Amino acid sequence: MNHDRHHHSPMAGRAKIGWIVFAVIAGFYLLSEHRAHLLGALPFLLLLACPLMHLFMHGGHGHGDGSPDKGEDK
């Protein structure tokens, strides 16, 4: 017997569209009702972004690999 079943994702069709519409409406009301709180916290979020970017964006510089300089020819 061939039991070919169609496997659909749990969020398919109308349910997915419904959740997207709900998320957009909820986001709109959160932004419109809490704009003063969000804008008041913005300077602190910018200050917090500086050390976070410093920690997470230093991966490509070769810091801390423990090897001698590769650019010197002796």
pLDDT above 60 (res 4): no
| Mean pLDDT over each residue of the chain, to the nearest integer | 78
Crossing angle for the helix pair 35-56 and 14-33, to the nearest 10 degrees: 110
The pLDDT of residue 60 is 60
Residue type at 19 in one-letter notation: W
Torsion 23-28-33-34 (CA) sign: positive
Residue count of the chain: 74
CA angle 63/69/73 to nearest 5° reads 160
pLDDT digits (tens, 9 = 90+) for 32-55: 898 888 888 889 988 999 888 888
Distance CA 74, CA 14 (A): 67
* 1 pLDDT tier (thresholds 50, 70, 90): low
